[in-house]
Amino acid sequence: MDEALRCLRDGVVDGGSAPFVLVQDSPDVLGGPALAAKLFSSLCKALRDGRSQAQLLSMVPADASCTAYMPELQAVLGTSLQQLCPDPTAPDALQHVLASMGDAAPGSKASGPGQGTAKAQPCIALGVDSLTTLMFHHPVYQVLEWIDDVLQQPRLACLVGTVHTDLHESITVNSLERMASCTVRAVPCQGQLHVFARAQQPDLAAEVCIKQRTGRVKVLTEYYKQMPNGSVQEVKPLLEPEKPLPMPQADVAPVQDAATVELAKKMTGGMRLTLTQQESAARQSVLLPWEQRQAGAESQDEFVSTNRKASTASSKVEPVQLAGEGASYGQIFYERDSETDPDSDEDPDDDLDI
C-alpha cells in the first residue's frame, strides 16, 4: 500500500482539500481489518520519522477491532497519538470530534496581544475505525456531511476511514468512494496470473484505486499473506504474467478478384468528374426522341439512316466500335401507354388548387 501511504504522507497539496483514504473489507475476504491496521502502523512510522505533513494522529476508535492494534500505535507515537470521541454512540459525538480537532492541534492556543493571528497549517491525521459503527448510531446522511466538514478543516492533513461494505447499501458505499481520493479494497486473489514461491502464496489481495490530479484513476494490485499473529505481510510475485505474443503476419498478399483490381485502376488518384473519349462518344451516339420530331422523321430507323453521315461529320470524335464491325449508335425504345390517348407534356394536376 505504498501508493495509499504516499497519498497520506503528502497531505494537502497546493491549497487543495485533505486526502481521504477509504479502506473497504467484506466477509468474503479474511484479513480486511489487518490491512487497515498495517496502513495505520505505516502512517505512524512516517509521522515518527518526520516524513509526513501531519505531526500527530487522532483516532476515533468506534470499532472493537481497534483495541487489537492501538497498543502498537501508542508504542510508536507515544504522546503524538490521541483518542477523540471516547463514546461514538453519543448524540453529539460527531460535533465533539470537530471541536476536539482544534484543541488537539499543535500551536492551536490563542495568540497573545500583539502577536496577530497565524494561518492554520494542516498538521492532524485523523483515523476513523470504523465509519460503519458511526452509521449504525447516526443517520447516514449526517455521517456523510460530517466527513465533508472534516475534510474542510484547515488543520486536517489527511483522513483514513474503514467501512464494512456488506453492511451498507451500494448507494452508501458509492457515496464514500466518490468522496475518497484513494480506495483500498480487500479482494480474493483467486485466478491471479502471477507466480509466487511455494512458501509465499498470498491469502488476499489489495486493490488500490488512486484518483490522480489529471482526472485519471490508477489501479494497482498488491498481494498479502496472513501471519500467525493475525497481521499481514506483503509478498512479491516471482514472475509477472506473460503478455500474449503478437499474431504472425502472413507473407502471402491477399488475393483480389479481377473486378476489384480493374476498379482500383480506374479509381487511381480519386474519383473522376470528367468523361473519357470513349465515354463521350458513346453518350453522343444516343438518339433522343425529341431529335426525331425536330428532324421530321417518321421513325427512329429513318432518322438514323438519314442523319448518320451528318452526325458523324459534325462530331470531332471518331465513331466507337461498340459491337461487331462499324460504328454503333444507341437507341431509346418507347411504347405509348394507350393508342387512343395521345401523350401530353401538360401537368394532369393543374386544376388542383394546392
Give the chain's domains with CATH numbers.
2-106+121-235 (3.40.50.300), 275-336 (no CATH)
Q: What is the C-alpha to C-alpha distance for residues 30 and 312, in angstroms, rounded to an integer?
A: 97
Q: How far is CA 38 from CA 210, 232, 336, in A?
A: 18, 7, 96
Q: What is the C-alpha to C-alpha distance for residues 128 and 91, in angstroms, rounded to an integer?
A: 17
Per-residue pLDDT of the chain (354 residues; tens, 9 = 90+): 888 999 999 999 887 889 999 999 988 888 888 999 999 999 999 999 999 999 999 999 888 878 888 899 999 988 888 888 778 888 888 888 888 876 666 655 444 444 444 567 888 999 998 899 999 999 999 999 999 999 999 999 999 999 999 999 999 999 999 999 999 999 988 766 567 777 788 889 999 999 988 888 999 999 999 888 888 999 888 765 555 556 665 554 555 567 776 776 666 666 666 778 888 888 887 767 666 666 666 565 666 566 554 545 444 444 444 444 455 556 666 666 666 666 666 676 777 776
For 176, residues 6+ apart whose C-beta sits below 8 A from its C-beta are 22, 131, 144, 147, 161, 163
Q: With 0.85 as the threshold, say if the pTM is over it.
A: no
Asked whether 144 and 107 are in contact (CB, 8 A), the reply is no
Asked whether 98 and 154 are in contact (CB, 8 A), the reply is no
